[in-house]
Amino acid sequence: MNKISKILVIISLIVLTSACANSKANNTNLKLNNNQQVNAANRGSNNEAEASTESSSEIDLGLDEAKVQEIVDQFGGQTPTKTVTLSVAITELYNALGLELAGVPTTMSTLPAAYDQVQRIGSSHAPDLEQIAKLEPDAVVAPASIKDSIAKMIEPAGLPAVYLPVDSLDELKQSMAALGKVYDQEEKANEALTNFAAREAEALKLSEGKEAPTVMFLFGSVDSLMLMNEDTFAGSLAKKLGASNVLSNVLKQTETYVPMNMESVVQANPDIILLVAHGDPSAVAKKFEEDVKQNGAWEKMDAFKNNKLITLDYNLYGIASLVKAPDAYKDMASILYND
């Protein structure tokens, strides 16, 4: 090998060695950068998790654990594998937990889309017992408020019944927590309840620093009207927004629903009368106004003097719903405080 060839070989070796060294350095830097990014991401994820935990721990879900346990106990320590629901409110709770259902109620109200193809089994007050029996459910879940009438139909048919309280906001939350325990979906239940509690807290700010009115709730149709207290969906919204329900606080009635008589309406003299009407709400409101005028009480009552007989939107208030509650809160606050 001549001198020039030797020089070329030496130069080639130097270049190759330098390239390898640079490659190793680049690979080392790449690993360091990747590790730094992963560590940073982990730190960020941990911080977010800690913040989420802190945020959740600061929110009071307002659950009565004794009542939650009473609901759980109805299931007898078993997790149903085939469930039929008899109300829209209960069906929404199952949907929030991502649970399958074998049967859902026949209703004019909108059910969650997840159950579009699920068998309809009749209305809550008139379930199709034959159809339910064909489904062979191990739990028929009905509202506690109609237990007396439903039990007379379901239990003689040998169908296993469970009754959930779902009339007021607090009852909806307790039933949600109970179902989470029964179906091993506590994490989903807590997440849903925490999200709702945060939205509820925001809604309640709408009444801060404002003078609370007295309210009377009327519920029913042209043929029959009832007074209802704060243990109902609309009533519980108004109570949490600070309003005073005259059925409890003036008339001193403890029943959730009380037949209306005009003497009670005049005696209570509420600032606002709120109507949750079946059927044609305008016809119900007109009939009520006519009855008040015939009684001679129109000029005596503050609600009529101030044009405060208000028909509530049945889509918002007709059925107890955690899903609709945030919008119902805003609507109720605007009614109570003229916002």
DSSP states of 194-260:
HHHHHHHHHHHGGGTTSPPPEEEEEEE-SS-EEEE-TTSHHHHHHHHTT-EEHHHHTS---SSEEE-
Q: How far apart are CA 289 and CA 294, in angstroms?
A: 9
Nearest residue to 139 via CA among 164, 125, 160: 160
HSE-CB of 138 using CA atoms within 13 angstroms: 8
- The phi, psi pair for 296, rounded to 5°, reads 80, 20
Instruction: Identify the bridge partners of residue 245 per DSSP, sorted by sequence position.
Output: 215
HSE-CB of 338 using CA atoms within 13 angstroms: 9
The amino acid occupying position 245 is N
Collapse the DSSP code of 34 into the 3-class scheme (helix H, G, I; strand E, B; otherwise coil) and give the result.
helix
pLDDT at 66: 94
Q: Is the Cβ–Cβ distance between 91 and 105 less than 8 Å?
A: yes
Nearest residue to 325 via CA among 335, 336, 338, 315: 315
Sorted by sequence, the CB contacts under 8 Å of residue 192 that are 6+ apart come out as 96, 97, 176, 322
Distances (CA, A) of 49 to 67, 123, 153, 249: 30, 44, 49, 45
Q: Which helix (H) or strand (E) holds 162?
A: strand 161-164
pTM above 0.85, yes or no: no
DSSP-H helix ranges across the chain:
3-58, 65-73, 88-96, 129-135, 147-154, 169-182, 186-204, 233-240, 246-249, 262-268, 281-295, 302-305, 314-317, 325-337
How does DSSP classify residue 115?
G
Question: How confident is the prediction along the chain (339 residues), in pLDDT tens digits per residue?
Answer: 443 343 333 334 333 334 444 443 343 333 334 444 434 444 444 444 444 444 444 567 778 999 999 999 999 999 999 999 999 999 999 999 999 999 999 998 899 999 999 999 999 889 999 999 999 999 999 999 999 999 999 888 889 999 999 999 999 999 999 999 999 999 999 999 999 999 999 999 999 999 999 999 999 988 889 999 999 999 999 999 999 999 999 999 999 999 998 888 889 999 999 999 987 888 888 888 888 888 877 778 899 888 999 999 998 999 999 999 999 999 999 999 986
Nearest residue to 80 via CA among 97, 102, 95, 65: 102
